[in-house]
A = this chain, B = another copy of it.
Amino acid sequence: MRVNSWTPSEEDEESDMASQASYEALEPATLGARLRDVPGLAERVGGAPETWQVREVGDGNLNLVFIIEGPAGQVVVKQALPYVRLVGDSWPLPLYRAFYEFHALDRQARRDPGAVPEIFHFDEAQALIVMEYLSPHRILRHKLIAGERVEGLAARIGAFCARTAFRGSELSMASAEKKADVALFAGNVEIPAITEDLVFTDPYYAAEKNHHTPGLDAVVARLREHVALKARVQRMLMRFASNTETLLHGDLHSGSIMATADAVRVIDPEFAQYGPMGFDIGMLTANYLMSYFSQPGHRGADLDSYQEWLLEVIEGTFAAFETEFARLWDTERTGMLYPRCLFEAQGHGSAPARAALLREVWQDALTVCGIEMHRRVLSLAHNADFESIADPALRAPLEARNLMMGRELILGAETIPDAVALCAMARRYNGACVT
């Protein structure tokens, strides 16, 4: 039979039992012994496996993360956990997400060389990836809370978003190859379902897992009573769940970026799925804006200049995205979409077609941005930018600015011309009292 006969309802249980039967969560004491036969690993770490130094790191919401160190070097070992630790093991989560993370990393590495950690080994049964240890990189979110700047951040991530969006779509890929990949990733149901619920739906009603800062009730009520707002959010959910334009990172926020003072990598694509081209850059922008709005809780005299730097990062990221997208459009448009026979070969350029497409990508990005600004303050997984502001009386008005700007982005996505206007809007809310 030529067609894909795999159905998750049948095979999920079987193979879950199979992999869970052999699956064993890693422990520091036995890590060396369990990984000693991984091809090339002994050479890379050096010394005898029983002498390897093993440290557990990472916040461990969804995964175990270890660093193995030996005389020759260090590697990272990441293993998926069969549940979400944030809420205890009452929320099971399939181990197969490591499979999708591995495939996403593989595609990202090919589409934007140097953007993601190098992969040394993947063990599907153990849901385990051995990869490059990044040092002295730190999680970008922590650096932004600490007020640190990263040289070249905007250019690097803007290019990453453009390259993965363009090269993962039928602007570039052969349709048969791309459709086979869509079928592969369509096997991932539970992970997108988390985004679908937590991001697009929970913020807009009194969902069980929600919580928000006291003092926000009036603003939250304003969001939840707005039928047109919820209609736009659900329309975006429909586009997120029923759109296979390109392979997304799927969770691109400042916690999925590691950086030094001038080097940047993207990590953790375990939420990779096919979706709209504007999704990744929209979610990322929301996280920059939340950093922006939270800064009065973290900065002193350098508040203004650091906030302005964050807006420069936003403008720069979109500029880099558009520049790189345009370059790829002109040099790598080999897929079936917008073929040259319709444009260049007829003696006129395709720039208006590209501009019209990017205009829609921009509007999707703004809508996703607004939704992400809501869910990180109202739904289950809040972010440290706001959460690390201990005083709710200081935190609430900052979160309120963020919520109300999110609302304006969702309702007015098609009226905001560009990233300059977006940043001007952020400055306006930054001075506002909206509680």
Residues of A within 8 A of B (CB): 1-9, 11-12, 15-16, 19, 94, 96, 99-100, 124, 169-170, 175-177, 179-180, 182-184, 186-189, 192-193, 196-197, 201, 204-205, 207, 224-225, 227-228, 230-232, 234-235, 237-238, 241-245, 274, 336-339, 341-343, 345-346, 348-350, 352-353, 356-357, 360
Contacts and interface: CB of A to CB of B under 8 A. Distances in A.
Nearest to A273: B179
A353 B352 CA distance: 31
Given A224-B346, A241-B337, A180 B186 contact: yes
A82 B184 CA distance: 27
A224 B346 CA distance: 8
Contact of A343 (B3, B94, B230): B230
Contacts of A225: 346, 348
A2 B230 contact: no
Contact of A177 (B9, B187, B243): B9
Contacts of A9: 176-177, 180
Main secondary structure on chain A at its contact with chain B? helix
Q: Which of A96, A228, A234 has the most CB of B within 10 A?
A: A234
20 contacts: A2-B12, A2-B187, A3-B6, A4-B187, A5-B184, A6-B183, A175-B192, A175-B196, A179-B189, A180-B186, A182-B186, A201-B339, A204-B342, A224-B346, A225-B346, A227-B352, A230-B342, A234-B337, A238-B337, A244-B244
- In order of increasing CB-CB distance, the 9 nearest A-B pairs are A231-B353, A183-B186, A3-B187, A2-B15, A4-B6, A242-B245, A2-B96, A4-B187, A176-B189
Contact of A352 (B204, B228, B357): B228
A3 B227 contact: no
Contact of A227 (B96, B179, B189, B353): B353
A126 B1 CA distance: 12
Tell me which of A192, A193, A242 has the highest count of chain B C-beta atoms within 10 A of its own C-beta. Answer: A242
Residue in A186, A188, A189, A243 whose Cβ sees the most chain B Cβ within 10 Å: A186
A246 to B, nearest CB: 8
Contacts of A182: 182-183, 186
Residue among A100, A346, A357 facing the most chain B CB atoms (10 A cut-off): A346
A339 B183 CA distance: 27
Contacts of A232: 356
Contact of A3 (B99, B170, B230): B99
A241 B336 contact: yes
A3 B353 contact: no
A91 to B, nearest CB: 17
A229 to B, nearest CB: 10
Given A8-B176, A179-B189, A186-B182, A346 B205 contact: yes
Nearest to A245: B242
A390 B231 CA distance: 51
Given A9-B180, A180-B186, A356-B231, A342 B1 contact: no
A383 B349 CA distance: 33
A189 B177 CA distance: 9
Contacts of A196: 175, 336
